[in-house]
Amino acid sequence: MRVLPCVLLVSLVASPLLVRLGRRPAGASHSSGSPGTPARIAASPSPVDPAGDRPQPAAAAARTYPRLPADPAAIADQLARLEEELRSEATPSTLLPDLGHRQQVIYRRLAADPGLAARVRGFLPPRWQGVLDLHLAARREFLAMHRGSRPASVVPAWRIIPPEPADRLLRYYREASAATGIPWEVLAAVNLVETGMGRIDGVSMADARGPMQFLPSTWAEPGIGEGDIRDPQAAIHAAARYLVRRGGLKDIRRGLWGYNNSDHYARAVLLYARLLRQDPLAFTGLYHWEIHYVSSAGDLWLPVGYNQPKPLPVAVYLRRFPASAPPPPEAPGGGARPLSSKSDPLQSLPAAVTRDRGPAARPSPH
């Protein structure tokens, strides 16, 4: 198996890793989920193909790349509030995409800066310190896969599409788990790091495709693929069967090694799976992570509506679509300044939602 060279994980997204089912060299990879006044997607031209004749839908028209504070205490305050709101049934569903994206950008920034992460952790309420530790450990496994690699100088030939609704994905994971014995949390974590839970619609350099990134030859093996390789339900069930075939019921690490023969990959997937097992409500944040792509110009955000039929130089892409570039952090001291509701979805929440409270009440994925 091979992964595109860009580091999440999806989603990331974990930053999601676009992997190909079937063996691949260890450490091969790509990415999934930093902060002026945020550039608004609507203010920039839609991404276009290299020929310049195919405008793409600005699906994220009202969305912005989150701009983070520079002050560790302000980052910790934002992160604690985000974790609360992403778990609260009182949070309006329309705010969840921006809340999840901001959470993702914070974790990506902290994973790349251990000194800042340690300072932020010191300000974070104890309730969220373990959550922070799992996120950072998972993200750093993916960073370790690509240590020494040069960031990509071109953006990829992908389409970024909306994911399947969260309730359907949860049903698919649970059904596949019940049918095979592979934990649903592992299937969700694989879906996250492979394609950002289905947001990346593209064919890898190794010809892998679909939301769980199968090689057509692996999909065609008896007892693995059934139906459409791009159908989320079919692909999730096939991934569960593949993990069983690779020995995942006896040793899930062995099964994941068959998916991507990298110990870093297996550890990262299992860290996200542990997060979901310990805290199923964490699924809401992970589901709303966006596609980020590590490039020579920084951590690019590729929003829903991105559609590049061919790789394009990063500099050319950013001239056409500058809102994909990470904005600089706020000036020191600016983190404590309240943000407007247009730039900070937390400011749009009702007062009762943002008050400190006990365990959040958003329905569990179980």
pLDDT of residue 349: 54
**Span 331-357, average pLDDT:** 47
Mean pLDDT to the nearest integer, 137-154: 94
What pLDDT is attached to residue 14? 34
Beta-carbon neighbour count of residue 337 at 10 Å? 10
Mean pLDDT lowest for which of 2-16, 131-145, 307-321?
2-16
Summarised one tens digit per residue, pLDDT across range 159-191 is 999 999 999 999 999 999 999 999 999 999 999
Question: Is 346:88 a contact under the CB 8 Å cutoff?
Answer: no
Contact (Cβ atoms closer than 8 angstroms) between residue 200 and residue 289: no
The per-residue pLDDT for 259 is 84
Residues 6+ apart with CB under 8 A from 255: 182, 242, 243, 244, 246, 247, 248, 249
Q: What number is the average pLDDT over the span 149-166?
A: 95
Is 149 exposed, middle or buried (CB count within 10 Å of its CB: 0-12, 13-18, 19+)?
A: middle
**pLDDT band of 202, cuts 50, 70, 90:** confident
Is pLDDT of 269 > 70? yes
Distance between CA atoms of residues 324 and 58, nearest Å: 12
Looking at residues 208-233, what average pLDDT do you find?
A: 95
What is the full DSSP assignment across 206-265? T--BTTTTB-HHHHTSTTT--S-TT-HHHHHHHHHHHHHHTTTTT-HHHHHHHHS--HHH
Counting Cα atoms < 13 Å in the Cβ hemisphere of 262 gives 24
Region 19-43 average pLDDT: 34
Using the predicted structure, report yes or no on whether residue 198 has a pLDDT greater than 70.
Answer: yes
Looking at residues 109-125, what average pLDDT do you find?
98
| C-alpha–C-alpha distance, residues 53 and 2, integer Å | 32
Pairwise CA distance, residues 111 & 90, whole Å: 30
Residue 211: the pLDDT is 96
* Contact criterion met (CB below 8 Å) for 353 and 90: yes
Torsional sign, CA 47, 49, 50, 52: negative
The reported pLDDT for the residue numbered 19 is 34
The pLDDT of residue 133: 98
Mean pLDDT, rounded, for 321-343: 66
pLDDT at 345: 60
pLDDT at 344: 59
pLDDT score, position 63: 86
Q: Is the pLDDT of residue 350 over 70?
A: no
CA distances from 221 to 3, 38, 276, 358 (A): 21, 48, 30, 49
Q: What is the mean pLDDT of residues 11-38?
A: 35
Average pLDDT, the chain: 81
In this prediction the pTM is: 0.80
How high is the pLDDT of residue 85? Answer: 98
Helix (H, G, I), strand (E, B) or coil at 347: helix
**62/193: higher pLDDT:** 193
Query: Residue 124's pLDDT is what?
Result: 98
| pLDDT(297) > 90 | yes
Please say if the pLDDT value at position 355 is more than 70: no
DSSP labels, 190-205: HHHHHHTTTTEE---T
pLDDT at 328 > cutoff 60: yes
**How confident is the model over 146-163, as a mean pLDDT?**
93
